[in-house]
Amino acid sequence: MKAKTPHFTNMNRTLANILIDLIAALLFLGMIATGYLLRFPLPPGSNKSLSLWGYTRHQWGDIHFWISLGLLVVLVVHLMLHWNWIVTVIAKRCRLPKTAQPSLVRSGVLTAVVVILSMTLFAWSAQYSVKEITRPMRGKQLAHTRQLNESSATAQAYIDKENIKFWQDVYPIFETHCLFCHGPQRQLGGFRVDRKEDLFESRGHEPLVLPGQSAVSPLIAIVSGTKKDMPMADKHTLPEQDITRLKAWIDSGAQWPVKTDAGK
């Protein structure tokens, strides 16, 4: 069967091709841009502590995903629009006998089936291969953080200053707000918040924590935003209730017991 009204169809095709390529290019740029955000300004582990233009790392990840899905759809459409040409070229290359015009619909459906099938297979295998990381500390720390968040509504009203427990009441604050820049992965300024000596020993300056003296402990100045010339000051200020908690911990002697399961 000959193409119907060839002139009109070709015009439409050309326009569609240009449009599709333009959309593909835009989506591709979108992928690069969001990928950049996920790699640099909002690196892994920053979901809880950073947001950019109102979105967290997770939300940017979602946007990245939907853009890439859009790009895939556009690429499939692009292939379909060029299908006749592709089949002709391949046939010529492989010196296949000339067949009748390949059906665009049949080829399109075939492509879609192959793509959807392989994506489903991939998604399925990924779904069933996700494993929980069995680091002994992890679950408990998460539980602590959750506990802290749940109780934070009442925390303002009541903090048991005498009975403040480091691993339960204090460390989760560090974990949530500091560990990402001052932990195992990065040690900005050479400082690690999960290393006792980094808080208690003078490392060329006053120790950050002076037990019993929250009013003059530099840690409190840093997290309440009163330390002068603090780099990235906004990343270092904590909510009022966390400051209160840290102060109470310092004033009660700043215990940092060896972590044992019994000590919780």
Taking alpha carbons only, the member of 177, 190, 231 closest to residue 45 is 177
The nearest distance, CB 208 to ligand HEC, in angstroms, is 5
Residue nearest to ligand HEC (CB): 178
**Phi–psi pair at 95, nearest 5 degrees:** 55, 40
Contact residues for ligand HEC, defined by CB under 6 A:
49, 177-178, 180-182, 188-189, 191, 193, 208, 222-223, 231-232, 235-236, 238
Nearer to ligand HEC by Cβ, of 49 and 107: the residue is 49
The nearest distance, CB 224 to ligand HEC, in angstroms, is 10
212 conformational bin, left if phi > 0, alpha if psi -120 to 50, beta if neither:
left
The nearest distance, CB 92 to ligand HEC, in angstroms, is 58
Do 16 and 23 contact (CB within 8 A), yes or no? no
Q: How far, in Å, are 93, 197, 231, 237 from residue 209 at the CA level? A: 75, 10, 19, 16
Nearer to ligand HEC by Cβ, of 111 and 244: the residue is 244
The nearest distance, CB 183 to ligand HEC, in angstroms, is 10
The nearest distance, CB 231 to ligand HEC, in angstroms, is 4
Nearer to ligand HEC by Cβ, of 20 and 222: the residue is 222
Give the Cα separation of 195 and 41 in Å (integer).
26
Nearer to ligand HEC by Cβ, of 71 and 193: the residue is 193
Q: How far is CA 121 from the centre of its chain?
A: 25
Nearer to ligand HEC by Cβ, of 84 and 168: the residue is 168
Using the CB atoms, write b or e for 234-249: b if 16+ within 10 Å.
eebbbeebbbbbbbbb
